[in-house]
């Protein structure tokens, strides 16, 4: 990839998109945005609550997604010393910052989807995520 291929101009400043590729990749994975939204709204949630709120994905898929988010520094995993042992998940500061940045994107998407043919545009319809694992 050429150096200029990753550059965009924003307010007379050039920004390289290449460093954003890993975060964009994880954001595009199934359940990631639902997890970020849930944890941002609730603060802390246990594994079972996350599973229930995201449509009960296979436990190994949800566990893997939470691990990826933790590795990316977006989610914090806290093991509670209870019997039985419980785990709570919450957004890190970085995860909360990302969530705040995503809100205008979703507001924009909501507005685009609400436009009808009177705007000479077809509504944007996003495909549903596949039900099978990745």
pLDDT reported for residue 77? 96
Digitized pLDDT (tens) for each residue of the chain, 134 residues in all: 455 667 777 788 887 776 677 888 888 899 999 999 999 999 999 999 999 999 999 999 999 999 999 999 999 999 998 888 899 999 999 999 999 999 998 888 887 766 655 555 555 454 454 544 44
The rounded distance, in Å, linking the Cα atoms of 59 and 116 is: 39
pTM of the shown model: 0.72
Domain covering 22-114 in this structure, CATH number: 1.10.10.10
pLDDT reported for residue 82? 85
């Amino acid at each position: 990839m050429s150096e200029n291929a990753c550059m965009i101009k924003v307010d007379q400043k050039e920004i390289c998109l290449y460093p954003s590729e890993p975060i964009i990749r994880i954001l595009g994975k199934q359940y990631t945005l639902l997890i970020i939204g849930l944890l941002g709204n609730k603060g802390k949630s246990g594994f079972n609550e996350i599973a229930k709120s995201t449509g009960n994905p296979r436990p190994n898929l949800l566990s893997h997604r939470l691990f990826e988010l933790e590795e990316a520094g977006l989610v914090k995993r806290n093991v509670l010393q209870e019997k039985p042992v419980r785990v709570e998940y919450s957004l890190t500061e970085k995860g909360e910052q990302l969530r705040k940045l995503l809100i205008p994107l979703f507001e924009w998407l909501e507005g685009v989807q609400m436009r009808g043919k009177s705007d000479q545009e077809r509504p944007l319809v996003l495909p549903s995520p596949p039900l099978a694992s990745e």
